[in-house]
Every structure is written in C-alpha cells, then in structure tokens.
Structure 1
C-alpha cells in the first residue's frame, strides 16, 4: 500500500495497474483541467505553451494541450526547453514568442527552469504578454532581479490548495541542530537556509572564511528570522500533502481499532486485529477515510485513490516598495456545484502591460488580448483551424474536416453487447444442464450404468465441464491487468483437467476389459489409483507450462488504435504467442491421445461401450479447436474474444452431449436397460 504526497502522473490513477496506490496530490490531468478552465474563463482561446524537458513539463504540457483542444482552444506554438544547449533553444523560443500573435503563454516548467526562462524573456523586453505559470509562487523573490520582477508582475497561475497545519509552525520553530543532533537533515537545511557552514562537529566556534564571503554557522540563528518567501511554513505544499497522508493512515488505523464485531467491513461483519492485519485490510480503511483536518480541510479518496481536486488561483503582484507577493484571487474545485467550479475575483487581479485598463475590459476577447478589432481575432482563430495542424493524441481521431479532435470510443466485448448477452445466456443454460446431469448421476449412483465407467471420474468430468462453461464469463467485460493474466491460464487449466479426465476414463475402459482375460497382469491396475495418478501427472505438466508463461511474458492489457480510426480496442495481448500456442498444443496432444485410445477401444464387447462415445466427443472437440486457429488469427477487436468463447462453448457442449446425454437417456427413459445383465450383453434381457 502506498500513499504518495508528490506523485502526480495520471496513469497512477489506473486501479487495474496500481490497485493499492493512493495520493494526497492531484494528478497532471486535474492540473491541466484547472489551467484550461482558467483560460476559458477569460476567453483565452489562442495560446502558446513553453514546457521543460522533464516528466513534469512533458506529461503536464501534453495533458494541457489535450485539455485545451477539447475545450475549444488553439495553440499557436508549443516549445520545449531542452536539458542541454538550453541557451541556443531559448533564443529560438524568444524569436517564436516575438513572431507569435498569441498574447497568452503558458509556462509549464519545473521549478528549477522558471528563473532562466523568465530571465531571458525579461532581457528581451517582452512585456506585452500574459503569462500563466503552471505552478506559480514556488520561487523566492531573491532569485529574480528587478527587470525580471517587472516581467513576473501580473502573472497568474495555479497552486495546490493548502491550509494552515495547526501546531506545525511551533514545531518548525523548535528545530535546532544542537538539540536534534541525530537528525541528519537539519545540518544541511541550516546551512542552506542561513548561507553558512558548520566549522566542526561541536558547532560552537565561528570564524570567517579567508575570502570573507562565507561565514560559519553559530547555532544562534533563528528559523523565525527566515524570509517567508523562502520558507513559508503556512503554504508548504509538500508538507501539507504529507500531513494529510500521515493523518489518513492514522484515521484508518483508528477506524480499524474501533471496529465492532458483527459490524465490520469484512466477511460476516468481522473486524481485524490491530496488531496483526494484512496490507489489503489497511488499504480498505484508507480508501474509506473521510475526515477534516484541524484547519477544516476535507480529506478523502475517490475510487481512483485521488484526493478532491482543489487549486488556489494566485496572482503575483509587485507592491509600491518592490516586494513580490502572491495574492489569492480565486479557486478551482471540481466538487463545486456545476457552473461554479472556478471562482475568480476579477477586481483583485493586477495585470501587467499586456492588458490595458481595468479588469472590466476582460469581458471581450478582442479587448482583453489587445488583438485589435474583432476581425483580427477571427483571422487568428481561422489560422488556428486552417494553418496550424495539431496532431491528435492516441485517444482521439481527427474529424473529416480536420478541424477538431474527437475522442475515440472504447470497444470490447461487454455484457451489454448482443454477443455478450448471447454468450452469457448460453453459458448459464449449459452450466445448469451440466449441474442437472450431475444431480442425476448422484441420484442414480448405485445403478450399473453409472458404476460401469468409474463414477468418480464422471463426477470430476461433469464438474470440470461446468467450469469450462463458466470460463466464458472471464472473456466478457473490459479487459484489465488481472483478468488478462488469468483468463487464458484458467481456461487452459480447466480444459486440460477436463481432457485428462476423459483420457483417464478411456484408459479405465481399456484396463477393465483387458483385466477380464485369464492371467491378465492388468488386474492389479483396476481401481481408482491409476486415473487419479494420471490426472495428477497431467496437471503438474500443465502447471509448469503456466509458471513458465507467467514468468517470462505474461499477458497484459493493450489499447489497439490501428483497427479502427474512431475506436480504441481494449484487448488482452497474450504476451508470448508462442507460449499461448504451446498451451493449446498441449491441450491438443491430450485430446489426440484420448481420441486414438478411444478409437482403438471402440469395438470392445459391451452393450454400452463408453469408448465409442468418447471417440465421437474427441472428434468433435478436435474439429472445433482445429477450426478455431484460423478464425482466431483472422479476427479483430472484440471478435477475438467472441471466437474463443464460441470454441469453448462448442467443445464443452460436444463433450457433454456425446458422453453424457446417451447415459441420461437410458437412466431416465429406458431404466430397464440400466441393468448389469444388459450391459454384459446377455440375450435373455434383450426383450425386456
């Protein structure tokens, strides 16, 4: 179980891949949605994006681009500042900005890249742009010179919503390296915060470095004296998120401790021992926590393990004395009533030179962005639609007019499809029929016909056939990591067990007839030991193949966008196709051996020789799976699963009909034939 306070990658919300992951920080998609709603609030539909060459910049800007396009926005440019040769690329980006007609530019870069980018922008006197900083107010004022502050002034952006952590301030102010010498992080923090170096381990003496530029730490420095813009204990995002993560676990443990028997969340209302519990049990409590912090912040997790999405909208403003401050001018909350997700105090915003006059002018796109008259705005929008071609993401496809990206529809064999409903109904009916036949065999278990061909094997075979019919359900529904890894394994395991039972019955028939001959050595093999041993050996071989498959190249979920332009085919990739056909080959080998043995034994003397029925069943079974291979290879999309389900149902029904229906006919409709004399072929019973 993991509760992260900093991982924002959107894919971590996929519970099929990360079932035990939760977090107290919103993901990139939520952040991108907030920035998009901010832009759309002011009508900014013509934008540029600058991103950093790291996970934060690339993943975040990709989500932002998709979100903007979906909302009806357009991009004039999207540039990336590389990790190497950044100076050269920055010059190119500056020229792009100067040529661009986009007056609103989103700077989606990590904290360490903000300063060099804004420094270069300010050096070229680019003052006629509105800057949206993806993670605003994260850099101290000391990092900016006066020219850069003029550029930063008026920027707007999002910051994770934080509230005061009661008692945290006092705890931080008590930090001191002399009283907490065991804490390895305090000394480096002290040196960085106070720009000093510890002289020795005693940390008491202090002198100046020979060059006079660096002093030694004395231990008399005070955390209270730190500049709040450098060390803001009220709005420390990571500390706040870690605080919520820790309290989530604490509340989960408290709920576990106060659980009352008969009212617990587990089987039969049971609880767990607080001193001995499994991680998944704690995960259950963590996923269901819902509490408020001392500051009134609501903490809980949704079905994806994500927290409530809430961002503060901050405007960086320069005061008359030159101090940089971050002013909260609004908020974005997805849990708010519809239409009120984003709330902004327009009058509290201080803009830079890109916008003239008061914020009252922000109600018209042409006035807001200084594009000129509305005709020039329309010209810019036409440029977006006609001249700028933005590649749609893999989850989208371009419309016929190539003017927008349309989300692809997911497709898989679901329980709502006609095929899914049909297969589900057939599987259910066949399972009930098999269960009914098993009940008939149990009721007439002492009759000669049931006893003649090893009734224990008949019971096992019927049970395995029931599982074979039920196997079709795991091929229906949206493929997920667990289902993809297990469905072929379960299917082949059940079928190999089923065929091993058939083969064991065939061998039993041969041994039984051969043992009736005088002085036959096979008498000692008559009984249930040989079939049981045979089934165990066959199953062990199959288990070894399963382990090899899962250990080398297990199946996984695959999103196929090549089959249809407007659909995403969600399917299971078998991982190793060689292992898949190896499993089918092993199943075919068992079926072939069973067919050959039954065929050779079909003429043994008996009025009810089971071998001939097994011969027909194996012939039908083999025919189905031989036909399956070309159909499986040529099928696409959801029909791949449909072909396999069809083969499973047909082959299982063939075994059931050929082996057990004739017996049921005699047991239920011709009871006079269900006698030992008739089965032995005595003539005096033929006219019964």
Structure 2
C-alpha cells in the first residue's frame, strides 16, 4: 500500500500537486481489534487539504483499504457506512458483502465468493468429479462461501459426501475429528473454503506433522535465506489487489477534485472534500493499471477473473505454485476455463483422479438411484427388453422402433431378423425333399399303371379315376412347395387356393372310386341297371362338379378378401415373422371345411363297401386311407392354431404331405406290389376266385 501511495504522490497525471496520506493499523484478524480501529477512523477532523508538505497532521479519513478477512470487514463496514466512508477490501470475499442494502459503502478488488463458488463448482464439473468432500473455516468467509458453493454444486449435479467446519482456535480434538472424516471418506477430492491459517493447521493434522517442531524465529535469521509466505515475492496476487484498491481510491478522489485531462489537469486543493463524494466517484471508476482493468459493478464487485494454480514439485524437491490456467467469468458460458498447462496430481501423476460415488453407467444401462442416498449414488441396471441407451449415465432407456431390436449390449437398435420357411432352412430342405419325392412316386406309379393298363388289377379298379387321382396327388405334393419361400401377394393367394382345389380334386377321385365299387356290386343283383347311371361320363362329371364348387369358393375368397403377406411383429419380440395372413378367416375355414365334408362322406361310403367280396375290392384300402386323412387333418387344426411363426407353415405342409402319402401308399402301394412282385395274382382267375368260392 505504501508503494502504491508513493507512486501516486510522484505521479504528475494522477492527483497532480496533491499528496495522499495514510494510517496503517493491524486488526490481527480479530473483530474486537478491527472495531477499535474503526472507531479511530471516525474521529472528527476538518475535511481540508494540508497546505504544507508535512502530512503528519491527521485529517479526516476519506476511504479505508481493508480488511483482509470478511468478518472484520463486515464489522468495520457496519460502523463506518453511516458516515459514508467508502471501504475497499483487497481480500474480503464473502458474498454477503455484495448486499448494498446492508453494506452500501463496501467495494473490493477481489471477486466475491459467489463467483468463486460458481467457478469452483464448474471446475469440479470440468474434471468430472461428482462425489466430493467440503471443509470450511467456521467464519463468515467459510460459512457463506461454502453455502454458495453447495448451491452451485447442486445445480451442476455434484454431490457432497460431507461438509465440516473448524477454526484455528478450536481444540486439537476438533481438528483431529475433521481430519478423520476426510480420511474415512470415499471422496478423493476436497473443496475448501478456509483461510490460510486454518488450512495450514488442517493440512498439518492430515500429514500428522507436529506444529511444535516448527522452528521459532529468534531474530538471528538471514532474511535473504528465509523461506516464508512473507518473504516470497513470486506470488503477488494479494499484493496486487491492495495496489488496485489504492489506485481506485486515488482515481475517485482525482475525479472529485480535479478537472481537465493530462497536461491541463488542475486540482482544487482548497475544496471541502467529503467522504460521500469519494464514495460516489468510486462507483464510477474505470481505468487500467499495469495491464489490469479496475472497475466495480452495482454491487461493488470487480469482474471475476481467477488464475488456476497448481502445486508442482520439482526434481530439486522445491514445491512452487504454477499457473496452469485461467477462469474469466466475462467469457461466454462453457468457455470460462482455459487450461494451458499439464496439471500435476497426486504422486506427480498427470492423470486426472476419479472421484465419484458410483462409476459411470455405460451405454446399454440406465441409472437407478440408491434408496436414501444422494443422486450421485446409483446402480447401473441393464435396459429393459426392447429398449436401448447409447448415452453414458443416462437415467432412461428408449424403445426401439417396432421393426428393430437391441443388440446384445443394448446400446443400439438393429433390424430384427426376418424369419420365414425358406429353401435354405433344414426344415425347408426336408419338406421340399419329401414333396418332390412324393410327386416322383406318384408319377412313377402312374407310369407303372400306364404300362400295365391292360392288366386285370388296373382295369378292375377304374383306371381312368386312378390316373386322375395320381395326377391330383402329384399336384398335392407339388403345391406344398408354394408354402416354402418368402411370402408375397401372389404366393399367398396361390398356396391356399392350390391346396384347396388339388385336395378336393383328389378326394373327389377317391369318392368316385368308392361310389363305383358300391355301384358295381349293386349292378350284380338281378334286374339292376344302376351301373348304366354311373358310367365313366357320370364319374367324370361328379369329379368336375365337386371340384368346381371348391373353385367357386376360392374365387369368392380371392375377390372378397384374399390372403396377403404381412410382417408378424407380435409373436416374437426379437424377430419378424414373414407370413401370409388369411385375409378372410371364414374363406380359409370354408375351403378346409368343404374338404372335410367330402373326406367324411367318402369315409362313410368306404366303410359301407369294405365287406363287399372281391380280391381287388378297394373299399378297405380307401377306408384306411380316409382314416389316416381324417386323423391328420383333425389333429392339424389345434396344431395349426397353436404353432408360432414359421412353424404354422411347417404344420400345414406336414399335414398336406402326410395325408397325400397316406392316400398314395394305402391305395396304390398294394396294387403296385402285386403288379411288380406278385404277377400271379394279377389275373382274372384270381379276381373271380373269391366270388366263385
């Protein structure tokens, strides 16, 4: 302060011809002493300039620089503010002093704790620390500063594990208790709002250094080699605050008593200057000194600019304070911090320490708060089925689109696999193989029958209907292939109509053969001419009529509400089933029901004809084949309804193949066996032997 005043007194531009006087008091950081000093300021002296060069005469105090602490500054301000004496502190940072209702005369060149608290919270957030401890001096500075910090930390989503206070005059047990709280804590970062003296005592306790072992000054030390905070001139931050405070007051007085600029500046030494005038002008000051801008806002606070310093230990063992960055509150949000050097952390590590209650929840999980604990303590729960999260530490998971499904990590949605019975599936290959084999078997059987078409066994069993039945069975086997492959609009319509029509054609042929057997034996009765009314033309007409009815049903179904391809998203959550919707379920069940009626009618007639004599009587074979046919399709209904996804198609193909093979083997296998392996039975004599007996 003395240096600044002497520099001003020797300055020809600032207060030319006027010299500033001063009185320096030591408050000893104690409120009673500070109050005693304040009362001395208030002694009544004439507010005039001394006309001589001797400033030893005390005049009225125009302004006060100080105090260093917030609590003494509060006491001083309350005493001198009624007299409008301005007070400029260089180190009192309590945010409460920004309240102009209570402290209208208070200014400071150091930023308010409110800015410090906000910048500290942003600094903690910048390094990713969410779980910290807090210690403070049990004073106005510590309590108010920490209260502001806790509010700012809460806004930044930072949790405080503990917040403890102490004072340097507290018993050793109290200091030790605070140190034990820090040692037991899970937090690796501690934010402190404490004075130098308080923090020194706490650090000594934490390092278990005994203060009694410190060397006490005895007056014989060499000041050039003495290492202390008072002899260290490398860190002049606080000194610079005093320097700016003195210059601010000088500029205020200059603006009150001087007029003109530079060379033409004239100051009225005879003016009666009041402290209130200095107070008014102090609110307006705005100047630069040695590269530092000095001004005050409406609350008497300067622009908040902080240096970010780091204790760094060199190889020589010396620890020095190194500036590693800057915080400027005047910069845009998010750009306040500028860190331009590496920071040394614990044990000279350059890696930022991690201080969190719970490790970050990775993508694919969500945060679930732990009951009774702060928001920074949570469990990481895997996203629910069908939902994902690709953000770290997210509290929510988002559902995938209906045609997408989460991957195994549940951090991204991938297209659901599309499933249908394809020719590449093992099931598809097996069913297609049996379908082709069945068709080949029917064709070979037709070839055998055609080759032996003049033999008694072929002629006795209505060769025309037999060939038509073999053709229809070939189509039945082949129509099952339409159920394999990706469903499309045309394949869906084809598979159901082809199935319905070919099976009706097949059953119609079997029905015709059954009726022929019955009519043939009726015709052997005396006076009966029934066979004339059911000859080959009538047989063909019967098959055509039954088949035409099914064609008509299928046509109406296709016109009104045909089957169509759909993506089934409900049966399985994790995949899409590509299948054919029935369009009109009524149409499907009418087609199936019509086949069932014909099969039941054929079965009844076959049962009636099963005991008629004849070695080549087909009624027994038809009865057994219809029994298999009906059993297959009766069990098909519940299996079809309950089978999920592509297995619905598998059940339908299986029913088609099983019933087709049943008809094929039951009706034609015995005849082929006789034709190929028992030719002695393929004679008219054997045919008539049972009747003769």
TM-score tier (shorter): 0.3 to 0.5
Q: So what's the TM-score if we normalise by structure 2? A: 0.43
Larger relative contact order, structure 1 or 2 (CA cutoff 8 Å, min sep 6)? 1
